[in-house]
Structures are given as structure tokens and as C-alpha cells.
Chains A and B, each alone.
Chain A
Amino acid sequence: MKNDNYIVRPLICILLVVLLGGVLISINMGKVNSDTAMLLGGMCLTLAVVYALLRFFPLGDHYIFMITAMLGVIGVIMLLRLQTGHGQKQVIWFSVGAGLFLVTSLVYRFVKHWNKLNKLYVIGGVVLFLATALFGYSSGGAKSWLRLGGFSFQPSELVKILFILTLAGVFTNEYKKPKEGDLRIKAFYNTKLGRNCAATVVAYVFLLFLLLQRDWGTAVLFFAIYIAFMAVYGEDKRFLLLNGVAAILVSIVGVSFMSHIQIRVETWLRPFHDVSNKGYQITQSLFAIGEGGFTGRGIGAGSPYYIPEVHSDFIFSAICEETGILGGLAVIMLYFVLVYRAFKISLSTNNDFNKAVAMGIGVMIGVQTFIIIGGVIKFIPLTGITLPFVSYGGSSMVTTFLALGILQGISARRREIEDEI
């Protein structure tokens, strides 16, 4: 019975946050409308349904979804406060994502041999990238969007997951003894060096596509995931060294020849030099964060509309303005716990492939959060990428939920085994 308290208390916290957020929006924005109430109610309903399913069927880890739910709720409240339309869509995307999360966790758990589909993942990734290159259109400087039957989405979000699965497969699949008459490349693939090379080739092909799309934020994310895998499984310092050299070379080339990058770096180093034009976005973000101080101006009492793209990339600045640095730190801590959870699952599962996948997902969420939060607080050059679960955006929400669904499936597999003891 005592244990039940610990399960109920976080749920009460989430409900309280929804309630307080709703009340604050209606007081400060002066819009006491049924829309807001209905949307928040819908959000709660989704949470309740998913949580009940997790609770009453042995579907694995309970923490992942609770932390995600908290992040999602904070995001939805901020979006409702910024623009009701965006909030509305976000609630829908959250529900779709949560549904997909459950489905993915079940599919991942009961379909075996995920580690044997390596070629399929690579081909899928390349096809998605090619499709973007041919039929995509650009938005916000990066040609990374694909329209499909009325929906636009970023294929690179989906490729992220394929990339993690590929690397996990490459590094953990069994080494086969080369047979007579085998192709030489096949024999080479079954050596440690061959595996490292295979991972490197895949990573660089994907990176090339991303750089052609001029999607630098996602490229950095892919590179970080690749480096994490190399550091854990590569066991070869030469590769780390070469990658370091390559990264430095690419950034030097980027800084000296590409105007796109030059602007980013310049606004990072001297944001106040050209406040009205190039540095407008980042300086507005800094003003907003400074305006918030420690405790914030109150949800609905700030003026976040000065920041362009405040609903997607810059939502963290809005959170900092209205709930203060303390609120911002709370969000960062939520990501910490989420990433910790991913690594914990990675450590406690027995299956090598699942271990690698869980690690990759943890790295992905952690690095993505770091890149965008670091960007908006001017800690690193800004690159457009979404804050998982909080930023407005369907494809980001759905694919991050997909990744977490895989994590959930892995944790369930482990718990299933534990229960049998």
C-alpha cells in the first residue's frame, strides 16, 4: 500500500500543473474560454488512458511516460498561452504520439530479430533522404521538409531512429566466421576494423545528406550519436582522432565559405552587433530570459511574442521568461531524469542489441536537448532543432515518442523476465 503513494503522487503533480496552468492562462490572458479547458481536459484524458494501460498491463517502465507527460503538459500550456491554435494541434499530436508510443512498445517487444534488418534501415534512411532532396521544400533555411497528403514532416526525424538501429546492429551483431568463396568485403565486415568502417560509412553518408539539406542542427545530432557509439563500441582511438580532425575541418570550411554558418557564428559571438537584423532572434531570446529573472513574470504575463519562432525552437526562452530560471532548470532536470532512465534501461537489459539501442536513444534525447537549449541561451551557436516533447511540431513529437516506445519495449522485455523469476 505504501508503494502506491509513490505512484499516485507524481500523477497528482501533473494534474496540479495542468490546473494551475489553465487558471493562470485564464487570469492573465483574460480568455476564460471553454476551448482551453476542453483541450487541457483532453490532454488529461490521454494521459489517464495511457497511464492506466501501462499500470494494469505489465508494459514495463512507468517513469518514462510520466516524465514525458510532464514535459508534454508544460509544452501544451505554453503553446496554449502563446496561440490557442498551436496548443490545440499539439494536444492532438501528443495523443497520436502517446498512442504510437504504446503500439511501438508492443511491436518492438513481440517482433524479434530487429538486429538483422540492418540493410533495410540503411536503405530506408537513404530513400527518405533522397525523397527529401527531390521533393522536399525548405522552411527556416533548411530544405528538410516533405509534404505527404496534406501533412508536412521532417524525414530526418525518422532517419534518426533508423540511424540508431543501424549503428546498434553494426556494433552488436555476431561476428561470422568467413567461409571459402565469400566476398572479400564480407570477410572484412566481420572484423572489428570492418565494423568500425561500416558504421563510419553509414554515418558519413547520412551526414552528407543532412549537410546538403543545410540542416546543421540535425547533422550535429547525428554526429554526436555516431561519436557516442564509436566511443562505447569502437574501441579504436584512431577513429575518434580522425573524426575529431574531420569535424574541425568541416567546421572551418563551413565558417569560411558558407554564409549560412557565418551568420550563426557571428550572432553567437557578437549578438548585439546587429540587433535589428541578424542578431534579432537571439537577442530577443536573451532579453526574454533576462526579463524572467529567477522566478519569472508569471505565465501569461510575459511578452514572448517578440521572439520569432517562439512556439518551436525558442519555446525554452518563453518558459524562462514566464516561470524564471527556476522553471527552466526544472525542465532541464526533467530531461536529465529521462536520459538517466534510458541509460538505466540500457544497463539492466541482457540483450546486447537492446543495450546499444537504449544507449543511442538516451544520447539522442540528451544531445538534442543540449543543442537547442544551449543555442537559445547563447552557450553554443544556434541551430534550429526542436526541444523534444515541448516544442510545437508533429514530426518531432511523433518520432521522439517512437524512440521512447522502443525504449519502453526494451524495458518491458526485461521486466517480463524479472517477473518470471
Chain B
Amino acid sequence: MQEILPKILTYLFVIVVYAFIYTIIRMIFLDIRTMSRKKNITQAEGYIKLMNLKTDIDFAVNESYELEKDNLIGRSGKCRIRIGDRALSGVHCRIFKAEETFFIEDMGSANGTLLNGESIADEVVELIDGDKISIGSLMFMFVKSE
């Protein structure tokens, strides 16, 4: 008995270390899987596509964002499309769909929203395929899927 108990405990010791490695690798695996899932954008009815070169940007931003019925864009947690750009306001602008057409509206942002280079001020403007939306330091192109 005095021989066997330490032996078994040593086995247990090694097994626990392996269990630890297993859980860590599993966590890392889950991490990677959720990351690659994030990139899979299925074609929605419309999406906005980033026009800037990604290498010029020092915060995380996706290459494209799907649009749903109502999309707030800005830095705060309320927004469906959250981008950590310092030049954006908390809630910067809103893109929403009404009767199969997308509209854009500025939400009183500090730096304003430009559509094809012109400020939209406090109007609600219809978006047409290929429109260029400038917010903060970013420029997006609006694409409407058929």
C-alpha cells in the first residue's frame, strides 16, 4: 500500500497536467472557430463595403457589414455596427430599410456624414447601389444585392 499510493498519485499528477493542456487547447480551438465564423458574411439584401486600405487603419474594422432592417453605426454599444474609430460619434448615423429601399440618416454626429462627398446634414437620403458613404476616417460603398 505504501508503495502503490505515491505511484498512483504521481500518475494522477501527470494526468491532471494533460487535462490542463487539453482544456487550454480546447479553449484556443473554440477561439479560432468563432473568429473564422465571424468572417463568413452571407449575402444580405444590402451591405456596405470598406473602401479604405486595411493597412492604413489602426483599429479593427471588417471588410464589409451586412445591413438589416435598422442599423446604427457608431462607437457605442447600442450600435449594430460598432467601429472603434476615434473620429466617429457614439451613435454616428443610421441606415434603415423601408419598403425595399435603404435610407441613410445622420444621428447628430460631431463630424457629420458625407454621401458621395456631400454632407447630408439632417436630411434622410435614399441610398443607391454604389453610393459612397464617408464617416469619420472611413469610406464605405453601399452595395444592394438583387
Asked whether, in the complex, the Cβ of A13 is within 8 Å of the Cβ of B14, the reply is no
Give Cα A67–Cα B22 distance, bound, in whole angstroms. 12
Closest chain A CB from B87 CB (angstroms)? 13
Smallest CB gap from A27: residue in B: B6
A-contacting residues, B78-136, CB 8 Å = 82-84
Q: Which of A218-226, A320-328, A394-402 contacts B (4 or more CB under 8 A)?
A: A320-328
Asked whether, in the complex, the Cβ of B23 is within 8 Å of the Cβ of A417, the reply is no
Specify which chain B residues have a CB less than 8 angstroms from the CB of A63 in the assembled complex: 24, 27-28
Closest chain A CB from B22 CB (angstroms)? 9
Chain B, interface size category, equals 20 to 34
Give Cα A115–Cα B81 distance, bound, in whole angstroms. 32
Closest chain A CB from B59 CB (angstroms)? 5
Q: What string of 1s and 0s marks CB contacts (under 8 Å) between B13-43 and chain A?
A: 1101111110111111010000000000000
Closest chain A CB from B52 CB (angstroms)? 13
Asked whether, in the complex, the Cβ of A21 is within 8 Å of the Cβ of B11, the reply is no
Specify which chain B residues have a CB less than 8 angstroms from the CB of A295 in the assembled complex: 7, 10-11, 14
Asked whether, in the complex, the Cβ of A299 is within 8 Å of the Cβ of B5, the reply is no
Asked whether, in the complex, the Cβ of A70 is within 8 Å of the Cβ of B20, the reply is yes
Among A7, A14, A24, contact of B20 (Cβ-Cβ < 8 Å): A14
Chain A, interface size category, equals 35 or more
Decide if A351 is an interface residue (CB 8 Å cutoff): yes
Among A7, A13, A301, A420, contact of B75 (Cβ-Cβ < 8 Å): A420
Specify which chain B residues have a CB less than 8 angstroms from the CB of A380 in the assembled complex: none
Give Cα A54–Cα B58 distance, bound, in whole angstroms. 24
Closest chain B CB from A404 CB (angstroms)? 15
Give Cα A341–Cα B16 distance, bound, in whole angstroms. 21
Question: A residues bordering B, Cβ < 8 Å?
Answer: 6-7, 9-10, 13-14, 16-17, 20-21, 23-24, 27-28, 63, 66-67, 70, 74, 295-296, 298-301, 322-324, 326-327, 330-331, 333-334, 337, 340-341, 344, 350-351, 414, 417-421
Q: 5 interchain pairs (CB within 8 A)?
A: A27-B6, A63-B24, A295-B10, A298-B6, A323-B13
